Amino acid sequence: MLDFLGDLKRTHMCGAVRPSDSGQKAVLMGWVNRRRDLGSIIFIDLRDRSGVTQVVFNREQNAVLHDKAEQLRNEYVIAVIGQVKKRDADTFNPNIATGEVELVAEELRILNVSKQLPFLPSDTVLPNEEMRLKYRYIDLRRDAMQFNIETRHKVSMAVRDYLASQGFYEIETPFMTRSTPEGARDYLVPSRVQPGSFYALPQSPQLFKQILMISGFDRYFQIVRCFRDEDLRADRQPEFTQIDLEMTYPQQESVWAVVEGFLTAAFGAMGHKIKTPFPRMDYDEAIRQFGIDKPDLRLPAFTDVRDCFTAEDLQELAIHPDLPVIAIRTPKVGELSRKERDDIKPMFVAKGGARVFEDFKRISNKFPAAAAKIAEKAGMAENDLIVLVVGSAQIAASSEHAHRKVTPQELAIYASAGLLRVALAQKYAERHGLFVKTGDLEKDFRFVWVTNFPMYEWDESERQWMAAHHPFTSPHEEDMPKLENGAQTVKDPKSALSEVRARAYDVVLNGTELGSGSIRIHRQDIQSKIFQSLGMTDEEARTRFGFFLEALEYGTPPHGGIALGLDRIVMILAGADSLREVIPFPKTARAVDLMVDAPTPVSEAQLKDLGIQIKKPVG
Ligand code: ASP
């Protein structure tokens, strides 16, 4: 028989009872986390979101109550009225905040029972993830998940408070809208009243936030759900949350300062102090020094050690003399076994004509003079590993794209070296203590702004220029004339468009892109020109973005903004190792919600209403 709650009121949270409460009456409510039955004494660990208090039922003191407590099982929901008592010193539990007290029960109300559970929130060994996702409500009761979701709350609140303090308004934008241009597939919602027409769920509020600037709100933000129907890679979610903002009359630095401000607040909320302003790095520089546009600054940059070799050395080693010779230094790896050295080569993903010398040691035996110079130039210390990535002698150091600071051949070497640098760091992570779980407070947070991205990327399969960020990003003012030239030769990979720099920026933390944004185009003539350069006819542009092109014509102020992934930031701050750990109800890699079992087929009647017929896949 279950008891009613009646007019009973909770006096303390289970994690909040302290020795100073001794002698007081307390009413606690929560779940039976653990029950230890010692015959005449039953101990219950009573749990709520704040923690656990030990409750004692003593047969000698109250046999009826003790009998009732015998019915309790894991995850029953109970209310206990009792007296707080300081424990004897030898029974203190230093592992919990309430470890010096217990509640001596005087009355027990069993508010609800629980079936035998598929797993227990108190289990130390986790069941497989499928089980956790199916019974997410049980999984979420676990301490670790409670901590992750609390972290998420604290981070969101810190960001909100900070942005509000800087004059940003939180403004909602629609979920049922038309296709937005972030380059992924849209999730579509059929319209019943207009059969055959669809809303799209927003990939981002991009155009709405720009229109809010045209509407005079000056500073907008939103912690907003975005939807992208992509083939899910390991750690992606079809719906994810962005900290999205936009402001008028900004320089890039104004946006950066706002981001640095809210990240300081968010990291601060979790006890981390971060250093601002973040360093800044040109895209070209990032490629040349790290081979990637999201550099992990915890590891040393590349060193070009071409000049450490003589011309004869290079010839003998079949290394291209006019291309960079990249030394990757991975600190504190220690002595590698022969097998470990052999394992490095298969980690190498060669781009273009890049090659790898898997082991500096082997080179040093034959070319001691060069090796000594390399060690010095790359700042090699004891226990560091050096691996060289070079251009094959066969490839030509062509002058194609010579106007860009990095040629395609150089890019191939940098990019291959960049991947290997990260792979080596990960492989030896434990040895040099790098990628330790974020739970550690000494975590080394190395932020960087990467800027001056190219405006366009050439898509060889489409034979088409694509916007590297999105087509609303402003080119640098001094690169505008190249647009004129570029627009004439749209289909040419060597057109002047390759030189146009975007006023776009990414904020990167320890090799992970946290967010990206840009100063936008605020003039209709330039926006139209950009659409043209992307191979869009005026008519196409009008069909897809007519409303926006028109809005630009009614007094649009200069504006810019950014969006950062909230899920990823929370994941880092909670020390979690997957986005699914910080999203209360995530989807699997196949975009399925295992708890509610979505997506599902719908009834014929619903389809009929929508004027939709399902064509069964053939075969
Ligand atoms: N809308 C962009 C994105 O979601 C961010 C921005 O440009 O503000 O990546």
pLDDT of residue 489: 65
Condensed to tens digits (0 to 9), the pLDDT of residues 435-490 reads 544 444 457 899 999 999 999 988 888 888 899 989 999 999 999 998 887 766 66
Per residue, the 3-state secondary structure of 503-531, as one string, reads CEEEEEECCEEEEEEEEECCCHHHHHHHH
Mean pLDDT of all residues in 417-441? 71
| CA atoms of 541 and 544, how far apart (whole Å) | 5
pLDDT of residue 439: 40
Tell me the pTM.
Answer: 0.93
| Residues in the ligand 1 pocket, defined by CB under 6 Å | 182, 204, 206, 516-518, 561-563
When pLDDT is cut at 50, 70 and 90, the band that residue 358 belongs to is low
pLDDT of residue 495: 84
pLDDT of residue 437: 44
Distance of CA 203 from the midpoint of ligand 1 (Å)? 9
Q: Is the pLDDT of residue 226 over 80?
A: yes
Q: Is the pLDDT of residue 326 over 50?
A: yes
pLDDT of residue 364: 87
Side-chain-facing half-sphere of 265: CA atoms under 13 Å: 19
| CA atoms of 158 and 262, how far apart (whole Å) | 7
Distance of CA 206 from the midpoint of ligand 1 (Å)? 6
The residue to mutate among 469, 507, 520, having the most atoms of ligand 1 within 8 angstroms of its beta carbon, is 469
**3-class state of residue 248 by DSSP:** strand
Mean pLDDT of all residues in 245-255? 98
pLDDT of residue 179: 75
- Which residues fall within 8 angstroms of residue 288, CB to CB, at 6 or more apart? 302, 405, 406, 410, 414
Beta-sheet strands, E only, within 460-582: 464-467, 504-509, 512-519, 559-565
pLDDT of residue 406: 80
Q: Is the pLDDT of residue 619 over 70?
A: no
When pLDDT is cut at 50, 70 and 90, the band that residue 403 belongs to is very low
Q: Is the pLDDT of residue 346 over 90?
A: no
Cα distances (Å, whole numbers) of residue 176 to 179, 203, 237: 10, 11, 19
Distance of CA 56 from the midpoint of ligand 1 (Å)? 55
Lowest mean pLDDT among 319-333, 375-389, 432-446: 432-446
